[in-house]
């Protein structure tokens, strides 16, 4: 559906011309480096602007998508019809004693770095995760025996009625790579984390150790969305894929990483279709060999082709 000029003018009035891009390629906004154009890409600068943009979309029956750092996302080659609201400009981080409040667009590794600077322990696991606080909260991001649920105290969200509410840790209903945010379709605006005072040198040592382990075991030199599949109960996705003989398998420029089979990588010129076709190859082979169904951890959105 072509966006009406009157709708576009309404968006420009709220966000300002400098914060709106038309037909912006989403490959420029995802860690996988794939994705066709969005009709409109908008950068709000505060919470009220996010609310106003959502209201304009709802009033005009225009679809919208909330984008964080694009690090756990595949956008199809046809792109996204409607409006993409990218939260990257809303990224303030505030430290108060052992509490850190971080706005939705703040990079997770930047928050971990602020914790280190203030000798606060609990976010060491997050120092190499490329997502934003909003996305990390929504999917309860984790690594190396740490996860967001262990440190989050509360989150400020926009609910489905457009109200800004604060949810306690209990109300966030955290599970494995899941939360009330995903369950009910809320939008994270800000998250407050309670950490522990610690020894700065030991915190840095732990972060450096995890960084080295990531570098040695993960294909960080290639574009990807991190671990492509969720961990199946009782198994490790990477080992199932490797034991299925799929390490190095390619479709176009998409490849099952030769360093870590749990990662699908973009070797340079992969399309979203290449990646999605390879995902299906992996799923089918693993199920045929082990009768285990793999489910993607990465979110998949957008249209197959422009119409």
Q: What is the pTM of this model?
A: 0.91
Among 45, 119, 231, 297, the one annotated catalytic? 297
Complete domains list, the chain, with CATH: 5-86 (3.30.43.10), 93-202 (3.30.465.10), 219-301 (3.90.78.10)
Quote the pLDDT of residue 51: 95
Q: Report yes or no: 108 and 178 within 8 Å, Cβ to Cβ.
A: no
- Tens digit of each residue's pLDDT (9 = 90 or more) over 125-150: 998 888 899 999 999 988 888 999 99
Half-sphere exposure of 220 (CA within 13 A, CB side): 11
CA-based nearest residue to 88, from 132, 35, 32: 132
Q: Which residue has the tokens 């505030």?
A: 94
CA 75, chain centre distance (Å): 12
Contacts 24+ apart (CB under 8 A), 111-119: 111/193, 112/207, 115/195, 115/203, 116/200, 116/203, 116/204, 116/207, 119/197, 119/198, 119/199, 119/200, 119/203
76 annotated active-site? no
Give the pLDDT score at 2. 84
Query: How much is the pLDDT for 98?
Result: 97
Instruction: Return the pLDDT at 198.
Output: 96
* The predicted structure's pLDDT at residue 238: 96
pLDDT tens digits for 182-229?
Answer: 999 999 999 999 999 999 999 999 999 999 998 999 999 999 998 999
Catalytic member of 177, 192, 224, 244:
177
DSSP class of residue 107 equals B
For residue 244, give the 3-state DSSP assignment.
coil
166 belongs to the catalytic site: no
297 noted as active-site residue = yes
Residues of the chain under the 70 pLDDT cut: 1, 306-307
CA distances 182 to 1, 79, 152, 175, 242, Å, are 27, 22, 16, 11, 30
Q: Are 26 and 302 in contact (CB under 8 A)?
A: yes
Give the pLDDT confidence score for residue 102 in this predicted structure.
98
Please give the pLDDT value at position 23. 96
The active-site residue, picked from 71, 101, 121, 227, is 227
């Amino acid at each position: 559906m072509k966006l009406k000029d009157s709708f576009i003018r309404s968006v420009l009035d709220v966000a300002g011309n400098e914060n709106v891009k038309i037909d912006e390629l989403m490959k420029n906004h995802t860690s996988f480096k794939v994705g066709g154009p969005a009709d409109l890409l908008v950068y709000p600068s505060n919470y009220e602007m996010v609310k106003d943009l959502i209201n304009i979309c709802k009033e005009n029956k225009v679809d919208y998508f909330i984008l964080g750092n694009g690090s756990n996302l595949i956008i199809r080659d046809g792109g996204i019809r409607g409006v993409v609201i990218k939260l990257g400009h809303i990224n303030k981080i505030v430290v108060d004693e052992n509490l850190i409040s971080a706005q939705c667009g703040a990079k997770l590794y930047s928050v971990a770095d602020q914790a280190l600077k203030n000798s606060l322990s609990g976010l060491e696991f997050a120092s190499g995760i490329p997502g934003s606080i909003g996305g990390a909260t929504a999917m309860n991001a984790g690594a190396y025996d740490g996860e967001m649920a262990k440190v989050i105290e509360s989150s400020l969200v926009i609910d489905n009625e457009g109200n800004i509410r604060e949810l306690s840790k209990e109300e966030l209903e955290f599970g494995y790579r899941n939360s009330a945010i995903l369950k009910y379709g809320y939008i994270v605006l800000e998250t407050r984390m309670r950490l522990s005072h610690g020894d700065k040198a030991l915190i840095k040592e732990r972060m450096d150790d995890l960084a080295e382990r990531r570098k040695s075991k993960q294909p960080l030199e290639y574009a990807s969305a991190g671990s492509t599949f969720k961990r199946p109960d009782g198994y490790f996705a990477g080992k199932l894929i490797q034991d299925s003989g799929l390490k190095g398998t390619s479709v176009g420029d998409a490849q099952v990483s030769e360093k870590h089979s749990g990662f699908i990588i973009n070797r340079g010129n992969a399309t979203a279709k290449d990646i999605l076709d390879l995902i299906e190859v992996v799923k089918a082979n693993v199920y045929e060999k082990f009768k285990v169904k793999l489910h993607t951890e990465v979110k998949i959105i957008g249209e197959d082709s422009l119409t």
